[in-house]
Structure 1
Amino acid sequence: MRNLTLLTDLYQLTMLNGYFEKNIHEDIVVFDMFFRKNACNGGYTIVSGIEQFVDYINNLHFSDEDLEYLRSLKLFSDNFLTFLKDFKFTGDIYSVEEGTIMFPNEPIITVKAPLYQAQLIETALLTIVNFQSLIATKASRVCLAAQGDPVFEFGLRRAQGPDAGTYGARAAMIGGCHGTANVLAGKLFDVPVIGTQAHSWVQKFDTELESFEAYADVYPDKCLLLVDTYNVLNSGVPNAIKVFKDLASKGHKPLGIRLDSGDLQYLSVEAKKMLDEAGFTDLSITASNDLDEYTITNLKSEGAAINSWGVGTKLITSADSPSLGGVYKLAASYKGDSIEPKIKVSEDPEKINNPGFKKIIRIYNAEGKAEADFIMLHDEEIDATKPLTVFHPVYTWKSTTFESYTVKELHQPLFIGGECKHNKKTVIEIRDYVQDELSTLWEAYKRISSPKVYKVDLSKKLWDLKSNLLDTKKFV
């Protein structure tokens, strides 16, 4: 396991040194990790990367080499570096389950820990969870657009480096993909790997037919042929049919064809006609070539005969929305047993955080559909036998009262007193959980374009606390 302790911004360490010198480094504080806008301009965000964050916390320590490097920067006192030698996370972390669907301004992860520990982990937490949540959400949107057709992640060669390609493949699987072309991801995360041949295979042989025959000879029961190297309808599909007939005569069942260029709608429809006429009515027609949720939606609406999708660059890079702006903000500080809420004030209302040590519940109607989320202070409770009224945190005259409902608390302990409480799940188990989560959302929240905004409200006690802090905040 890699030691990622120095995977941090320098200012985290200069602040730690300052806290140490001012003797406030052991003060207990509360930080929240949340985002202000859904990934991919959509209606929801899928949380991913929790497993890697747990690994990071479990392996958090400063090696001798780390400390020597920090000493070479000539920024830190010897006493501080000596203190770091025995660094170990001893705080509490609460998190939603990996694969949970979340919405803007909700605390995904809450950290309650000594100040120097809570501050150090900010950068790594954000880079791990922001990226994987972005790609999981993008994959989910692509899979929703595919309307049940299998989607395969093809993005490794276009990813922003090996880690992005590998952990992006993991996140894509969590988001709903059926397999990945990334063999290392397959090994690390025990997920299906897929792949056949490239255009170079077809080009290497003297004729296209010879290349298809050779591939069928090596993989008679896994024969899916790339038919667009020269001419899809005049060469590729006819040659594929010849090979498929030969395979069928020998008792093998061909898998299908792949299209990687051209007018995918037209070519798929014409190829399907040719395959049907040859008696191959149930083969896969896979499409690739710079696909995303928008192109797949269009191809579906135009009647394309594609029933399998390989999505690469625009998935692994989330090309149209390349970052999730997750942030990590101080929400409270303790003086003994007394909690002091903290708030960041901004001219931009979206950047004003919710103060205090909080938790979040999800409200479901009698049919099990998610209706709203409710951010509360940690010591508040909901009596689900009584009506519950929630109101918009900005437009407070907008309110809804629930009469028959159930609630689910989303935060669960990840670490308590530095001890890991996380129950590890496989990637496939997390993917299944995502599908269960999505089934609780109304379709309006899952629209590819112009989704309905999901209700995220504050408890009256939290809303009053925030309002009072804003009213009394002094500027100097």
Structure 2
Amino acid sequence: MPAQSPLFTDLYQLTMMQGYWHHGLHAQEAVFDLYFRKLPFQGGFAVWAGLEPALEGLEGLRFSEDDLAYLEELGQFRPAFLDALRGWRFSGRVTAFREGSVVFPHEPLLTVHALLWEAQLVETALLNTLNFQTLVATKAARCVLAAESSRYGGQVVEFGARRAQGPDGSLSAARAAFVGGAVGTSNVEAGRLYGLPVSGTHAHAWVESFPDELTAFRAYAELYPDSTVLLLDTVDTLRSGLPNALTVARELRERGHELRGVRLDSGDLAYLSCRVRGALDEAGFPEVKIVASNDLSESVIASIIAEGGRIDTYGVGTQLVTAGGEGGGALGGVFKLAALDGVPKMKLTGEPRKSSLPGAKAVWRAVEADGSYALDALTLGEAPRPGDRVSDPTNPLRFSRLPGGLTWRPAREVVMEGGRRTLAPEGLPDLQARARADLARLPAGTRRMLNPHLYRVGLADDVAALRDRVAEELRGHIQP
């Protein structure tokens, strides 16, 4: 991947950098937390994705002479400041959840400890990368959970390149979808860049380019005898596509090959897949897979399964790469200053839900005796103990006491120190495996598509007390 440009940021990040530098504030030690306030898709979890490309971007961030020349052209930046940027690089520490982890609102997913001007510059790029990939990985996980709920099993392939938000969006979505559980992509460039399995069938145009459907099917099978998947609905799925596909399947078998699959791209997918499955099985082709496409989402997949559909692979496109559907569109992650030179900082604001949590915080995850996840808690350092009180981040009056029998472990770790990654990059199959394992450890109700159980994230008393103290100090500055 090409190196990330330091100009991939909002203008105000650069003007603030110059302001910090001009006033001698740039070298203060800052702590920024990245988190989101609301789960996407009205769901019960999110799958954390995009960390590896984000760290790669931080590690290689430099101002080139072309970058500096462009900034000079803008007329807002002083020569001395631009000269200072020549030796600039990110040298901070990053603490984060490992990519593929399940994560929840109001907990710092990633914390940057760095000089103030360093931390300020990277906000936009971090949010861009992590918000989008986490959103898509979460959507993919929901689609996969829906597909796997069938007693026949099912898998998801990302099919969305043509409807994604530009080439960068398409590639990022393919990567994130794999982290979330998709088994491959139709995007060949994503396959090359990320080592993803690539798959596809043919389009209706292939059939329309031949004198008739059977001739088109035969031509495709002749060219790809061991990987043929035939699209059935160009003319009529049951009265033309299916019988012609069976003819080609028999001809392939006579030549020592097997038809790989058939694809349904329109109509009542539950009904059609049952009819096609029955015909394939009756004709002696039980191993031929049925692929479905046509604006699928987790809710459509769930409805197909509920109606007895017999689909093996769901090609999910638009709804996946654009993260569409109820509660989709954007994750809404934010990047807020939590401390400066050891002094806790917070955004108070007139909208309580948008207030931030001050101080450098630790995130802990409680594990039940059976290995399942129970809740997460934020402290100022020490692990929670039985009997400790934790409160709801959105409602201080709602609190509970922690039970015994839980094992608490740090939910995050240092992934970058001195601007260099502390851990070797992980392969996408490893990230996918982590996501799958983490999802399996959630309470079953948290994985539900509709009205999920809300996984608890609690504030320890030390965090809540610090928030209240800093808020009171800020209120003291308000004019009567």
Alignment correspondent of 2:258: 253
Alignment correspondent of 2:161: 156
Task: Answer whether contact 1:388 1:403 (CA < 8 A) is retained.
Answer: no
Letter in 2 for 1:322: G
Task: Answer whether contact 1:154 1:180 (CA < 8 A) is retained.
Answer: yes
Matched, 1:390 2:390: yes
Letter in 2 for 1:135: V
Letter in 1 for 2:275: E
Task: Answer whether contact 2:388 2:460 (CA < 8 A) is retained.
Answer: no
Alignment correspondent of 1:426: 427
Task: Answer whether contact 2:3 2:61 (CA < 8 A) is retained.
Answer: no
Alignment correspondent of 2:339: 332
Equivalent position SS for 1:70: helix
Alignment of 1:163-182 (within 5 A): 163-182=168-187
Task: Answer whether contact 1:268 1:305 (CA < 8 A) is retained.
Answer: yes
Alignment correspondent of 1:70: 71
Q: In 2, distance between residues paired with 1:382 and 1:265?
A: 49
Q: In 1, distance between residues paired with 2:329 and 2:204?
A: 29
Alignment correspondent of 2:362: 359
CA deviation after TM superposition for structure 1 residue 250, in Å: 2.3
Equivalent position SS for 1:310: strand
Alignment correspondent of 1:205: 210
Letter in 1 for 2:335: Y
Alignment correspondent of 1:37: 38
Equivalent position SS for 2:33: strand
Letter in 1 for 2:357: N
Q: Which moved more, 1:87-96 or 1:165-174?
A: 87-96
Matched, 1:87 2:88: yes
Q: In 1, distance between residues paired with 2:4 and 2:443?
A: 42
**1:264-305: CA deviation from partner (whole Å, max 9, x where unpaired):** 122112222222221222321111000000111111101112
Alignment correspondent of 2:280: 275
**1:18-75: CA deviation from partner (whole Å, max 9, x where unpaired):** 1111111111111000001112221111111111111111111110011011011110
Aligned length: 469
Letter in 1 for 2:30: V
Alignment correspondent of 1:127: 128
Alignment correspondent of 1:316: 321
Give the one of 341, 345, 348 matched to 1:345: 348
Q: In 2, distance between residues paired with 1:291 and 1:133?
A: 20
Equivalent position SS for 2:402: strand
Equivalent position SS for 2:244: helix
Equivalent position SS for 2:462: helix
Q: In 1, distance between residues paired with 2:257 and 2:388?
A: 61
Q: In 2, distance between residues paired with 1:433 and 1:3?
A: 27
Alpha-carbon RMSD across the aligned residues, in angstroms, is: 1.3
Equivalent position SS for 2:338: strand
Aligned residues with identical type, % of pairs: 41
Equivalent position SS for 1:112: strand
Alpha carbons of 1:395 and 1:344: their partners in 2 closer, same or farther (altered >3 Å)?
closer
Alpha carbons of 1:312 and 1:212: their partners in 2 closer, same or farther (altered >3 Å)?
same
Task: Answer whether contact 1:40 1:134 (CA < 8 A) is retained.
Answer: no
Q: In 2, distance between residues paired with 1:57 and 1:171?
A: 19
Matched, 1:304 2:309: yes
Letter in 2 for 1:34: Y
CA deviation after TM superposition for structure 1 residue 414, in Å: 1.8
Task: Answer whether contact 2:180 2:435 (CA < 8 A) is retained.
Answer: yes
Q: In 2, distance between residues paired with 1:144 and 1:121?
A: 34
Give the one of 227, 234, 255 matched to 1:222: 227
Task: Answer whether contact 2:389 2:399 (CA < 8 A) is retained.
Answer: no
Task: Answer whether contact 1:389 1:402 (CA < 8 A) is retained.
Answer: no
Equivalent position SS for 2:349: coil
Equivalent position SS for 2:319: helix
**1:250-272: CA deviation from partner (whole Å, max 9, x where unpaired):** 22221221000111122112222
Alignment correspondent of 1:24: 25
Alignment correspondent of 1:10: 11
CA deviation after TM superposition for structure 1 residue 387, in Å: 5.2
Q: In 2, distance between residues paired with 1:154 and 1:95?
A: 30
CA deviation after TM superposition for structure 1 residue 249, in Å: 2.1
Equivalent position SS for 2:331: coil
CA deviation after TM superposition for structure 1 residue 431, in Å: 0.3
Alpha carbons of 1:397 and 1:292: their partners in 2 closer, same or farther (altered >3 Å)?
closer
Equivalent position SS for 2:337: strand
Q: Which moved more, 1:210-219 or 1:267-276?
A: 267-276
Task: Answer whether contact 1:258 1:286 (CA < 8 A) is retained.
Answer: yes
Q: In 1, distance between residues paired with 2:424 and 2:468?
A: 38
**1:101-140: CA deviation from partner (whole Å, max 9, x where unpaired):** 1100110110111110010000000001011111000000
Matched, 1:373 2:380: no
Q: Which moved more, 1:269-278 or 1:50-59?
A: 269-278
Q: In 2, distance between residues paired with 1:392 and 1:25?
A: 35
Q: In 1, distance between residues paired with 2:415 and 2:310?
A: 46
**1:387-438: CA deviation from partner (whole Å, max 9, x where unpaired):** 5553434254531432111122122112212232132111111001100111
CA deviation after TM superposition for structure 1 residue 360, in Å: 0.3
Equivalent position SS for 2:44: coil
Equivalent position SS for 1:374: strand
TM-score of the pair, normalised by structure 2? 0.95
Q: In 1, distance between residues paired with 2:176 and 2:48?
A: 9
Alignment of 1:180-191 (within 5 A): 180-191=185-196
Task: Answer whether contact 2:383 2:408 (CA < 8 A) is retained.
Answer: no
Matched, 1:285 2:286: no
Q: Could you tell me which runs of 5 or more consecutive residues in structure 2 were left unpaired when the two chains were aligned.
A: none
Q: In 2, distance between residues paired with 1:279 and 1:113?
A: 64
Task: Answer whether contact 2:270 2:304 (CA < 8 A) is retained.
Answer: yes
Alignment correspondent of 1:138: 139
